[in-house]
Amino acid sequence: MKLYYSDTFELPLPDNHRFPMAKYTLLRERIAAAQWQAACELRLPPAATDEELLLAHSAEYIASIKSGNMTDLQIRRIGFPWSEKMVERSRRSTGATIAAAESAIKDGISANLAGGTHHAFESSGQGYCVFNDVCVAARVIQKRFSNIQNVLVVDCDVHQGNGTAGIAKNDPHLFAFSVHCEKNYPFQKTDGDFDIALAPATKDDYYLAQLKTGMDLVFRRFKPDFVFYLAGADPFEGDRLGLLSLTKQGLRERDELVIHYCRDQELPLALSMAGGYAPQIDDIVDIHLATIEVAHHRLLRDRIGV
């Protein structure tokens, strides 16, 4: 399985910043140490080009991000201080999701070890999201591959994918499905094509039942040619920003549900890691690692029929 990773994912931040930036490097190290890693290939993604970004973002917005010519409020809403490195990270992370999507079309499954920046709208960023990697990548593959018309986004980050919903709003070929906590950021939701808003403290069984019902309903309404899956680590019970109460086992079962659901229909699937804010960074990395492991096992099963 091809995995896309760049050292630029780890953006230097002020000491008191709450974003767990080290998780990307730790995840790469944990994958390298896993006994199943031999079948994974770590690749450096290219940075997304302006032409690619323009498929989901306005020229004015891209120009303001590149130049840093932004208001204090715009920068505060994004949550990272502006720097050249921030621009490069945002481009690379989007490039990684594009590359993972292209690999998924060839191989079945692929992953970006970052990405899932679903709060980015066409002309604004917020909540640690600058460019919407999944929406950009969706439009890129729709353009480059004649057999990819309908693209589904299954967003299981605990926060609603409001930016994705906004970009998908008037696009009949891009379907935004989000399963999130209702009483959580973003406090003003942007309605997606299908949203499941869960109460705080929701546990494994109820979450998984809702997700399964949601997948069935979405697939009755929309016939995707490709699926992006945002496997957020923040529905975890210990997450500082999550409010849901899923265990690591529950999150693994969530990953299995989405991955098997799509692969049973032979749909190509690209993964983005999305959020995770548990106080112990190892918990976040455990959850992301399990997602990659589940995907890897499924790809192996698809290839050799085990």
CB of 114 vs Zn ion, minimal distance in Å: 13
For residues 305 and 92, give the distance between their C-alpha atoms in angstroms, rounded to a whole number.
34
- Which two tokens mark 99? 């590359």
Considering only residues 216 through 235, tell me which ones interact with Zn ion, judged by CB under 5 A: 234
193 lies in the site for Zn ion, by CB under 5 A: no
DSSP 37: G
What's the angle, vertex CA 160, arms to CA 154 and CA 162, rounded to 5?
A: 95
Binding-site residue total for Zn ion (CB under 5 A)? Answer: 4
User: Which span (46-54, 141-149, 217-225, 274-282) binds Zn ion, by CB under 5 A?
Assistant: 274-282
Q: Is 208 helix (H, G, I), strand (E, B) or coil?
A: helix
Pick between residue 223 and residue 240 the one whose CB is nearest to Zn ion: 240
H helix or E strand, kind and range, residue 43: strand 41-43
Shortest CB 118 distance to Zn ion, Å: 8
Nearer to Zn ion, 108 or 275 (CB): 275
Kind of pairing between the strands at 41-43 and 151-155? unpaired
The residue number with the shortest CB distance to Zn ion is 275
Q: Does 275 bind Zn ion (CB under 5 A)?
A: yes
> What's the min distance (Å) between Cβ of 79 and Zn ion?
12
Part of the chain binding Zn ion (CB under 5 A), chosen from 4-12, 153-161, 176-184, 258-266: 153-161
To Zn ion, the closest distance from the beta carbon of 242 in angstroms equals 7
65-74: Cβ within 8 A, 24+ apart: 65/90, 65/125, 65/130, 65/131, 74/124, 74/125
Query: 270-287 as b/e, with b when 16 or more CB fall inside 10 Å?
Result: bbbbbbbbbeeeebbbbb
**Cα(66)–Cα(54) distance, integer angstroms:** 13
Interacting residues with Zn ion between 232 and 261 (CB under 5 A): 234
User: Are 147 and 165 in contact, with CB atoms under 8 Å apart?
Assistant: no
The reply to whether 157 sits near Zn ion by the rule CB under 5 A is: yes
Least distance from Zn ion to the Cβ atom of residue 39, Å? 29
Find the part of the chain contacting Zn ion (CB under 5 A) among 13-21, 258-266, 267-275, 296-304. Answer: 267-275
Strand partners, 97: none
Closest contact distance (angstroms) between CB of 286 and Zn ion is: 17
Residue numbers 58-117 binding Zn ion by CB under 5 A: none
Q: Alpha-carbon torsion 303, 97, 88, 241, what sign?
A: negative
Residue nearer to Zn ion on the CB measure, 100 or 278: 278
Nearest distance, CB of residue 143 and Zn ion, angstroms: 28
User: Site residues (CB under 5 A) for Zn ion?
Assistant: 157, 159, 234, 275
